[in-house]
Amino acid sequence: MRILVAGGGEVATHLARRLIREGNEIVIVEEDADRCARLEETLDAKIVQGSAASIKTLHRAGLREAEMLIAATSADEVNLLACLIAQADSNVKVKVARVRTHEVHHWRRIAEQAGLKIDLIIHPESEAVARILPVLPLPGVSDIFDFAEGKVKLFGMLVEPHHWFAGKTLIEVGRSGAPPHSLVALIFRGPEVIIPHGEERVLPGDHVYVITRQTDLEEVMTFLGLKRPERLERVFVLGGKQIGILAAEELEKRGVAVKLFERNLERCRKIAEILHQTIVVHGDGTDAGTLMQENIHGVSAYLALSDDDEDNLIASLLARRLGARKVVALINRLNYLPMAQLLGINTSVSPRLATVDRILQFVRKGQVVSVTTFREEEAEAIELVASAGSRYVGRKLRELRFPAGAIVGAIARPGGEVIVPRGEASIEPGDRVIFFTLEKAVKQLEAAFLAERQRERR
């Protein structure tokens, strides 16, 4: 596929790198000359210097030959204008725009009323908050993801040295009475990512991801020694930027007592006009004295959501030491995500990674329902719809040969049945199949599904 990417920032660069690896032809439009030079050195893509709001520049970049436009510059108005130009002056089939203004819902409405067809307007801050909120009431759980419209759950946890299954193989864990519809789907061990088999031994310090049915989630968590969900009572939020305000608004709706820390006095006044129940504290939310004075000990969660990654990491460590039951760090730089885990900050969220996941879902073909990327793109969970003509359909899993580094984590039938399969299970037409795969196997896995779908259409 020929894809035109407007913008050469970190999101655009990561997207381009992924799409190039998957065999797409990428053209990047970037205004900054130095950034263009760096892109030329690091990516196998055509780089065009100029503004994505310029018709002449977009023509030079081959807009009329492109099948997709991804507008991900740092300027919302440029992204929207690029989509308008593409609609009026090309046959681009799919248009995606990143919009970061808090007025995003108005822009969605205006674009629709004006007849501007943008297939996806993505708001990174909203995507990040949507990932943060579900994990807050879950002690010991680092993150949690939904598949198959919420019928399948995937959650992460750190294996502490004293944990009862540290040192056991997955077969031994299963024999200890593991609920039948559950599976350890991924293991992160330092820099290594493992798609595990039954003989794999779980080691202290491993970060494991477990998949199960929504109906079995509480049973599986109890089996693993995790505490029951807690009621959120008090939450501290560091940072009065858009994402901090969004998180506080959502927590207010849930009846949670929120304190938001912001250093800028004028910003505090503006936030106080937006948030009616949140206590806005003009002070340094990374200062131990301030946090102790505001009674941080025993707080349900501390959300470090400033625009400074280093501040967020340090503040999360401090908040945990001062007695916060759960800490969450906002990380913008993707290469900081493994560092957060090494520091023991198990819950981190990246608006950029959330943005990349949503866009990849649109870039890939229609049978891809969802994409979830882990850490620095080392592994993925991909939710695919099985087509009737696929060679994977109608045969037992033990008879199939998936690409090395890929396993089936769960199958959701069209009638509502959900299974976490073993070797005797089979994939049937229309099933939603959740695969866990190493990055190197993604292209093979998707190509197999795409090839079968294309044969059906002939």
Q: How confident is the model at residue 144 (pLDDT cuts 50, 70, 90)?
A: very high
pLDDT at position 450: 55
pLDDT at position 230: 87
pLDDT at position 280: 97
**CATH node for 230-353:** 3.40.50.720
Mean pLDDT for the chain overall: 90
Instruction: Spell out the SS3 assignment of the chain.
Output: CEEEEECCCHHHHHHHHHHHHCCCEEEEEECCHHHHHHHHHHCCCEEEECCCCCHHHHHHCCHHHCCEEEECCCCHHHHHHHHHHHHHHCCCCEEEEECCCCCHHHHHHHHHHCCCCCCEEECHHHHHHHHHHHHCCCCCEEEEEEEHHHCEEEEEEECCCCCCCCCCEHHHHHHCCCCCCEEEEEEEECCEEECCCCCCECCCCCEEEEEEEHHHHHHHHHHCCCCCCCCCCEEEEECCCHHHHHHHHHHHHCCCEEEEEECCHHHHHHHHHHCCCCEEEECCCCCHHHHHHCCCCCCCEEEECCCCHHHHHHHHHHHHHCCCCCEEEECCCHHHHHHHHHCCCCCEECHHHHHHHHHHHHHCCCCEEEEEEECCCCEEEEEEECCCCCCCECCEHHHCCCCCCEEEEEEECCCCCEECCCCCCEECCCCEEEEEEEHHHHHHHHHHHHHHHHHHHC
Is the pLDDT at 339 greater than 90, yes or no? no
pLDDT at position 449: 63
Q: Are the C-beta atoms of residues 212 and 236 closer than 8 Å to each other?
A: no
Q: Are the C-beta atoms of residues 78 and 71 closer than 8 Å to each other?
A: yes
Q: What is the pLDDT of residues 383-413, one digit of tens each?
A: 988 887 777 888 888 888 888 888 999 999 9
The share of the chain scoring above pLDDT 70, in percent, equals: 96
Calculate mean pLDDT across residues 419-427. Answer: 88
Q: How confident is the model at residue 458 (pLDDT cuts 50, 70, 90)?
A: very low
pLDDT at position 359: 87
Q: What is the pLDDT of residues 211-246, one digit of tens each?
A: 999 999 999 999 999 988 889 999 999 999 999 999
Q: How confident is the model at residue 23 (pLDDT cuts 50, 70, 90)?
A: confident
Q: What is the pTM of this model?
A: 0.87
Q: What is the pLDDT of residues 48-99, one digit of tens each?
A: 999 999 999 999 999 999 999 999 999 999 999 999 999 999 989 999 999 9
Q: Are the C-beta atoms of residues 131 and 349 closer than 8 Å to each other?
A: yes
Place of tokens 């990055």: 439
pLDDT at position 333: 86
Is the pLDDT at 341 greater than 80, yes or no? no
Is the pLDDT at 363 greater than 90, yes or no? no
Calculate mean pLDDT across residues 31-46. Answer: 95
Tell me whether the CATH fold assigned to 2-122 matches the one assigned to 230-353: yes
CA dist 50 and 57 (Å) reads: 6
Q: Which CATH architecture has domain 2-122?
A: 3-Layer(aba) Sandwich (3.40)
**Per the structure block, which two tokens stand in for 360?**
């990849």
Q: What is the pLDDT of residues 10-21, one digit of tens each?
A: 889 988 988 888
Q: How confident is the model at residue 443 (pLDDT cuts 50, 70, 90)?
A: confident
Q: Are the C-beta atoms of residues 448 and 392 closer than 8 Å to each other?
A: yes
pLDDT at position 453: 46
Is the pLDDT at 323 greater than 50, yes or no? yes
Q: Which CATH superfamily is domain 354-457 in?
A: Regulator of K+ conductance, C-terminal domain (3.30.70.1450)
Could you state, in order of their start, the residue ranges of all structural domains in the chain? 2-122, 230-353, 354-457
Q: What is the pLDDT of residues 240-289, one digit of tens each?
A: 999 999 999 999 999 999 999 999 999 999 999 999 999 999 999 999 99
φ, ψ of residue 187 to 5 degrees: the values are -130, 125
Residue 111: CB atoms within 10 Å: 18
Q: How confident is the model at residue 456 (pLDDT cuts 50, 70, 90)?
A: very low
